[in-house]
Structure 1
């Protein structure tokens, strides 16, 4: 095919845009690029579709024609956003001013050592260290991540596991952003790396008790699916590593972990609606035993403490319950399970950690996440909160068999994340750390929880924050965020990047729409598969409610979502474009049908129970009816900022690239459309703690301009 030259991308708006129905840009204004259209048919069992921008997909990421188009988009974004650079710099400086430069984590004890990470002033990456015997002992350097990151445009150290004898550290790093990790092993006595090198792995490692055998998960290099659990013996070639378990069903993903009492390790495979777990003593790691066989709509997760197993399960409990069984009854399977907690229609169990004598339960009720302590004597004690919208979650509890103290974190939209520990026996609570937010006074801000009626009568919880003095008279700008997929809940917390918006009078709203699990498993069921459109209409209905209640002015509403939340943005842009002045869609999943038809794309096979399998006509038709890319029409759209990473392994860069190309072709408005392509990053953007604030500041400057907020 003829190569697309850069000059050919930057076509004259009078020659192209007018012919396509777009209004001409002002004289001298930067001209948006136009991607070439090339015939391509996407086959499926339920009919073929034409996709003129399919050519933008290049799995090698080397096609010069494709790269030229992405460069043209970045050049256009640079030119269009150049006048906003001073505002971007101010927003970045303001956000970073609320970050403690030389911050450190709360130390935790494990196996005789206290572990901690800390940042030096100005550093993008932390130093990881430990102290023997006491949190005040001299520090021993584990990993100097700033030094490790030098020479890399991207760097992530995503797992570190210390051997039981405290001598070795296995760790997983990614220097591309593709989430294809390399596992190395460091001798902590000498500081030297051992020659053992494992590639294409998940960042999920477990040592056996012999201090020589490391279990890890191997990834398929094409689909990036973790599919084999391997055992590596130090000093041997990875090619000779033993396969301990292989998952043949490509709709399942896997993880490995130690139990809370360090007696067993477990292989857990899970899909959206089914789990299966195998466990073995850490002394004999190859002797894996099936805990309970998989079955559709049967989910469970088992942990061990003392002489019993504790299991979180949805068996006869849609919102999950905890059951227990003695070691001696483990071979009897589910017949031996005995309830620890009852099934509930209002309380959803998110997670749990077993301690000696009690269980700490992480649960949701009324849209909030909270902690409850359940003693072996049956006594149940909730940990109280004083705000209307908040979150609690279990923190690092590294030695639950040896302590009565439970660590947890608390946060709200005005209260900085605070780490506490509470004594399950006495009720005493201690504050371990309040996350420092320099230049921030919680007393200057207000948080609320409101319930917005959806069009089907469902009440949707919304967490709101604004600066005191912001008038609720229908004149304020609103920034609304949501995710709403995979059962992932969006919980409130203070974000330094949000404060510059609040200080300029912007009202911020977290819409806890269906598709998450804020209100329980039914909240998720009502927002996926053939109910997915509830996610989109919930978001729109929340906006209209907030405007009607005078939290915001019509025409001054911004919306943002990322990944599956980017799908939300694309769908909402198609069905309710007039409700929003501007939208931000980061790494958006917008070409739903084409992606779900291609099993070679990472994540596709895992997600049939999330979106549906388009090989089945009912799902194909439903997905096609909302897929943002397929439903772009000749209408006006809000101003839009779209971001992606060339090396994204979760949502491939070509999805937003194609979507933007089609929007440029079809939209009839003169609102700006910015497509920012990070050429050196993956799904999470650039690495480093400050980089996300820089990227965020560019999008925020664009949003504030479109909302006509004083800068």
Structure 2
């Protein structure tokens, strides 16, 4: 492999300039629908090839050399994150059975410690649901350490906890661990009465585990060669007999999962493609019984189901996007039906164009509806009465931007509802809502040390106009003294795929940007779910280009309104958001000083053309099938970042990837950077950093993650001229 190396000169700041690695070219022909594409860097796909590893290591060395002058700034940002974080802390306890469950963090430890303590026997009524006020630095009477992730991570460069599931009686814990980053877990079982591990050990599982009601069996999933969870197994605790395959989905478009209803009366297998759903149910007290189909799948219809007791009768709650009164219910409707005849549905909530129903969580005495309206999440509580349904109440919050959602509510019959509320300037607040009285009881606010005051910052909703006249929401957050007339440095984040919504959330680390005068913005582009199902539908398959042009429209709006300037703005996106910013780098490089991207999906056509790659067939409903459809092939080729690299000036680019990522393979950014380096003009820095022992989520361990954030933010600040701020 041809690699230039060595120090060639020194710029004005005294930092040695190391020559960029130049990847060799090995022409590989790809022919589809009569189109010939010559891929000169496809050879980088073989990570068993020593030349490939040598190239990635050379890129890492180059990136390290080109960012060495930021060491002091990185250290400062890391120290700021650390100083603002209460390192020794614990979560708000959640009641389940006879115990309060919570997790602890300790100064100097990378991972959490999971614990429980007994519920006091001398309290009754609502007081019995008031979590104990545990102090982070004091011993808790009767505390039992259930799982110490720091111990499990010892001797490993990577650690991820997958399943963490208790039997109904609280005697058993099923947990799984990934020590590589490839999202294949080893499932184990612990007797919480003795602390002993069973000899049962199941390798190669997907993350979850679901118990039968009597705690004798555990259901889990495995994946196929393309990483698709496709099979559900039943394991009898302590048995040496082979596990039983209870369900297998052969259609590669579908993803399989298993769980229990909130009441724990039923086990439920969910089978989902991007556009079609099916559920199978089984009484949880009959774990060796046969699952039965709740409603047969119908192409293009998605549904979810839960169990509720309405007026003393067991019923299934079903929310779906099928046809109602001759009209497709794009944003979903809610119905209920008898458990012995789920097709006999009674409509409870009709379709609304402005409200996207997302989840329904039934409790013994009420339902919780989670939905979004006006690009914000909402929660409403709907009481259940002896005669049926009471009057719904939406919870209101005095914030322009916020995100609210369900917290940990493991019990079916409980007089309180745990919820979480946050915003860009509001640290996470944990409340217990009391449906009977309407009281909202604050249990904890995320501590932020170092004199943080939310009143020093402001958040705001703005709107840009897309090419076709659609209004695109933009969320903005900044320090108040940064709201002057002069354009400010700005980090513009976007995602725009899979109906994923980028909701307001508080970030301790982002204060290191805001306090230095940067503005943080989110472009809520089509392809996401912020504005409902049609917002998603108009940013996928053959309308995908809207995702990219919406982002460009948001960037232009921010420049035209004087909030920022093109030479002071950095675009940021990861995974499918990496596709977004990678495409935008080709469409409008003049609008940005830099492009930051993590595990970017920048070679989508090559991946989606190969059914043997992880998740490809499942993805056809998102992007289209370029193998079968020439129009899809040509459309994807027209926006693919890798295939549209041309000889022109690009912004500074930092691409970060992981060698063991099973979702977006490292080869995509490796090829993209190699082609950019050989093709682009100008002297803006082009950097690739590969984590050699991590997966899709990047490095593990909170201190390592803080270091990674500090690395990225230092680069961003340097790119917009704030490295000395």
TM range, smaller chain: over 0.9
Higher relative contact order (CA 8 A, sep 6+): 1
- Aligned counterpart for 2:400 among listed residues 388, 391, 398: 388
Query: What secondary structure sits across from 1:38 in the alignment?
Result: coil
Q: How does 1:609-620 map to 2 (within 5 A)?
A: 609-615=621-627, 616-620=629-633
- Aligned counterpart for 2:238 among listed residues 231, 235, 240: 235
- Is 1:707 the counterpart of 2:720? The answer is yes
Residue 343 of structure 1 corresponds to 351
- Aligned counterpart for 1:68 among listed residues 44, 54, 59: 54
Q: What is the deviation of 1:112?
A: 2.0
- Aligned counterpart for 1:587 among listed residues 599, 611, 629: 599
Deviations 1:432-478 (A, max 9, x none): 11111112110100111111111211111111110011143243111
Q: In structure 2, what is the Cα distance between the partners aligned to 1:647 and 1:670? A: 31
Residue 559 of structure 1 corresponds to 571
Q: Gaps (5+ residues) in structure 1? A: 15-24
- Aligned counterpart for 1:254 among listed residues 256, 264, 269: 256
| TM-score, normalised by the number of residues in structure 1 | 0.94
Root-mean-square deviation (CA, aligned residues, Å) is 1.7
Deviations 1:348-381 (A, max 9, x none): 1121211223211111001111111123434121
Q: In structure 1, what is the Cα distance between the partners aligned to 2:655 and 2:14? A: 22
Contact 2:655 2:669 in 1 (8 A): yes
Q: How does 1:178-197 map to 2 (within 5 A)?
A: 178-197=182-201
Q: Label 1:46 to 1:354 Cα distance change in 2 as closer, same or farther (>3 A).
A: farther
Q: In structure 1, what is the Cα distance between the partners aligned to 2:367 and 2:160? A: 33
Deviations 1:291-322 (A, max 9, x none): 10111220110011231111121123211121
Q: In structure 1, what is the Cα distance between the partners aligned to 2:710 and 2:611? A: 36
Q: In structure 2, what is the Cα distance between the partners aligned to 1:178 and 1:641? A: 23
Q: What is the deviation of 1:45?
A: 4.8
Q: In structure 1, what is the Cα distance between the partners aligned to 2:483 and 2:354? A: 35
Q: How does 1:61-460 map to 2 (within 5 A)?
A: 61-134=47-120, 136=132, 137-220=141-224, 222-237=225-240, 240-285=242-287, 286-306=289-309, 307-315=314-322, 316=324, 317-327=329-339, 330-331=340-341, 333-334=342-343, 336-376=344-384, 377-399=389-411, 401-439=412-450, 440-460=452-472
Residue 33 of structure 1 corresponds to 21
Q: What is the deviation of 1:62?
A: 2.5
Query: What secondary structure sits across from 2:32 in the alignment?
Result: coil
Contact 1:585 1:641 in 2 (8 A): yes
Q: In structure 2, what is the Cα distance between the partners aligned to 1:39 and 1:472? A: 52
Q: Label 1:380 to 1:28 Cα distance change in 2 as closer, same or farther (>3 A).
A: closer
Query: What secondary structure sits across from 2:195 in the alignment?
Result: coil
Contact 2:111 2:150 in 1 (8 A): yes
Q: In structure 1, what is the Cα distance between the partners aligned to 2:533 and 2:695? A: 30
Q: In structure 2, what is the Cα distance between the partners aligned to 1:356 and 1:618? A: 51
Q: In structure 2, what is the Cα distance between the partners aligned to 1:205 and 1:582? A: 42
Q: What is the deviation of 1:411?
A: 0.8
Query: What secondary structure sits across from 1:705 in the alignment?
Result: helix
Q: How does 1:620-639 map to 2 (within 5 A)?
A: 620-639=633-652
Contact 1:584 1:640 in 2 (8 A): yes
Q: In structure 1, what is the Cα distance between the partners aligned to 2:594 and 2:15? A: 23
Q: What is the deviation of 1:601?
A: 1.2
Residue 19 of structure 1 corresponds to none
Q: In structure 1, what is the Cα distance between the partners aligned to 2:234 and 2:31? A: 41
Deviations 1:582-626 (A, max 9, x none): 110110001111100111211111111111111111111111110
- Aligned counterpart for 1:529 among listed residues 541, 544, 563: 541
Q: What is the deviation of 1:28?
A: 5.5
Contact 1:474 1:553 in 2 (8 A): no
The more displaced of 277-286 and 632-641 is 277-286
Q: What is the deviation of 1:514?
A: 0.7
Residue 10 of structure 1 corresponds to 4
Query: What secondary structure sits across from 1:402 in the alignment?
Result: coil
Q: In structure 1, what is the Cα distance between the partners aligned to 2:338 and 2:97? A: 26
Q: In structure 1, what is the Cα distance between the partners aligned to 2:166 and 2:364? A: 23
The number of aligned residues is: 686
Q: In structure 2, what is the Cα distance between the partners aligned to 1:43 and 1:423? A: 62
- Is 1:54 the counterpart of 2:54? The answer is no
| TM-score, normalised by the number of residues in structure 2 | 0.92
Q: What is the deviation of 1:29?
A: 1.7
Q: What is the deviation of 1:182?
A: 0.7
Query: What secondary structure sits across from 1:472 in the alignment?
Result: coil
Contact 1:281 1:287 in 2 (8 A): no
- Aligned counterpart for 2:474 among listed residues 442, 459, 462: 462
Residue 620 of structure 2 corresponds to 608
Residue 515 of structure 1 corresponds to 527
- Aligned counterpart for 1:550 among listed residues 554, 562, 574: 562
Query: What secondary structure sits across from 2:218 in the alignment?
Result: strand
